[in-house]
């Protein structure tokens, strides 16, 4: 209990540290960050306000104070290149990235556990070998390349799935939370839900491959651990089909390490989502971040990095909590 409490108290501290580090790194930018930004879109007033938020003329400490003060109040400033408030951009772009990472999490867990089960229980050495090698292949293939391949094969050649975007062109839908799964269910819009899920499939698949590879390996070794242990014991104790019992027990045991791993993998998934979004025209943080870098729009870069990192920190925290709630035996001193 105290552990959890301590972790909870650390959470804002870590978030503060993440924001501060991002702040520091972006102040390393040589020259005036505003020098490169087109003044065409920002009018004089917006430019002044954005400059004030950045307070470049002030000493670093003052800038930092302003930055933290604004952050706490939820004001992240405006985009240097379009004048749009960061909070609005984040509302639009953060949920799609989270959706993608979560979907990849689920897909990779299924694939990983499935593969792990198959390779640990089969007597067919070849199958075991194949699955193991496929797992390694999965985590070796470059993400962007997989994306391109998937598009060519499934979207263009086979025409099974769409090429890109988050939802079909011209599909009517309402935005409530901007998490499409929730929104479409809430509004009962099944057409939109179907279109969204179709569009989610390939990108989620691409992002999931790396973690699926890891998950498969962990699932396999955890299951093997249990299977070997239990085989001798239960084979004699029960008259039932040991295989089923062993499998169930092994599976249950394997799930915990896999889920922990997946939680840790979420960071990789978020990073992977950022890259994959470009290939699939997924309108999330990846595109926003890269456009920001290309345009030297440091306000956008700052906001994007901080919030993706925040997401990661939060998810880690949740995973940690769940882990300790589910299996207090494995609590370790940190």
Nearest CB to other proteins, comparing residues 221 and 238: 221
Yes or no: say if 245 and 304 are a contact pair by the CB < 8 Å rule.
no
Yes or no: say if 278 and 290 are a contact pair by the CB < 8 Å rule.
yes
Taking each helix axis as running N to C, give the angle between helix 242-279 and helix 285-294, from 0 to 180 degrees, rounded to the nearest 10. 30
Nearest CB to other proteins, comparing residues 149 and 237: 149
215 to 234, contacts with other proteins by CB under 8 A?
221, 224-225
Q: Looking at residue 77, what DSSP letter applies?
A: -
* Phi, psi (rounded to 5 degrees) for 78: -120, 160
Among 60, 72, 106, 156, which residue sits at the site for other proteins (rule: CB under 8 A)? Answer: 156
Nearest CB to other proteins, comparing residues 184 and 287: 287
Which tokens is 100 given?
A: 């993608």
C-alpha to C-alpha distances, 82 to 37, 47, 161, 237, 303, nearest whole angstrom? 10, 10, 34, 71, 14
Nearest CB to other proteins, comparing residues 184 and 296: 296
Q: How many CB atoms are located within 10 Å of the residue 49 CB?
A: 14
C-alpha to C-alpha distances, 295 to 36, 149, 299, nearest whole angstrom? 8, 29, 11
Taking each helix axis as running N to C, give the angle between helix 190-237 and helix 86-121, from 0 to 180 degrees, rounded to the nearest 10. 30
73 to 112, contacts with other proteins by CB under 8 A?
81-82, 84, 92
Yes or no: say if 196 and 181 are a contact pair by the CB < 8 Å rule.
yes
Yes or no: say if 180 and 190 are a contact pair by the CB < 8 Å rule.
no
In angstroms, give the least distance from the CB of 9 to other proteins: 14
In angstroms, give the least distance from the CB of 14 to other proteins: 6
291 to 330, contacts with other proteins by CB under 8 A?
291-296, 298, 301, 305, 308-309, 312-313, 316
Among 6, 8, 17, 32, which residue sits at the site for other proteins (rule: CB under 8 A)? Answer: 17
Among 117, 151, 246, 251, which residue sits at the site for other proteins (rule: CB under 8 A)? Answer: 151
Residues 6 or more apart whose CB falls under 8 angstroms from that of 229 comprise: none
168 to 197, contacts with other proteins by CB under 8 A?
169-170, 172
Segment interacting with other proteins, rule: CB under 8 A, options 108-116, 185-193, 229-237, 277-285:
277-285
Nearest CB to other proteins, comparing residues 253 and 316: 316
21 to 40, contacts with other proteins by CB under 8 A?
21-22, 25-26, 28-30, 35-40
279 binds other proteins (CB under 8 A): yes
Report how many residues bind other proteins under the rule CB under 8 A: 80
Which tokens is 60 given?
A: 């670093």
């Amino acid at each position: 209990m105290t552990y959890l409490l301590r972790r909870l108290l650390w959470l804002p501290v870590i978030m503060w540290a993440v924001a501060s580090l991002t702040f520091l790194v972006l102040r390393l930018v040589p020259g005036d960050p505003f020098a490169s930004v087109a003044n065409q879109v920002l009018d004089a007033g917006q430019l002044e306000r954005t400059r004030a938020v950045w307070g470049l003329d002030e000493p670093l400490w003052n800038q930092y104070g302003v930055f933290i003060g604004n952050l706490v109040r939820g004001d992240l400033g405006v985009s240097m290149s379009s004048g749009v408030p960061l909070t609005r951009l984040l509302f639009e772009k953060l949920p799609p990235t989270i959706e993608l990472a979560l979907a990849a999490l689920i897909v990779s867990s299924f694939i990983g556990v499935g593969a792990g089960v198959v390779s640990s229980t089969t007597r067919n050495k070849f199958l075991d070998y194949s699955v193991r090698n496929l797992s390694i292949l999965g985590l070796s293939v470059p993400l962007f390349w997989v994306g391109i391949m998937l598009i060519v094969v499934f979207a263009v050649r086979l025409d099974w799935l769409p090429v890109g975007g988050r939802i079909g062109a011209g599909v009517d839908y309402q935005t409530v939370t901007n998490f499409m799964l929730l929104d479409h269910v809430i509004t009962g819009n099944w057409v939109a839900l179907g279109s969204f899920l179709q569009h989610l499939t390939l990108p989620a698949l691409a992002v999931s491959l790396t973690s699926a590879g890891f998950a498969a390996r962990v699932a396999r070794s955890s299951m093997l651990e249990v299977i070997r242990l239990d085989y001798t014991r239960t084979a004699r104790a029960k008259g039932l089909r040991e295989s089923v019992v062993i499998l169930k027990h092994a599976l249950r045991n394997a799930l915990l390490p896999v889920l922990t791993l997946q939680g840790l993998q979420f960071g990789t998934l978020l990073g992977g989502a950022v890259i994959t979004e470009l290939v699939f025209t997924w309108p999330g943080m990846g595109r926003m971040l890269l456009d920001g870098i290309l345009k030297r729009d440091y306000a956008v870069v700052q906001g994007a990095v901080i919030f993706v990192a925040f997401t990661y920190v939060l998810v880690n925290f949740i995973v940690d909590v769940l882990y300790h709630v589910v299996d207090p035996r494995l609590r370790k001193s940190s």
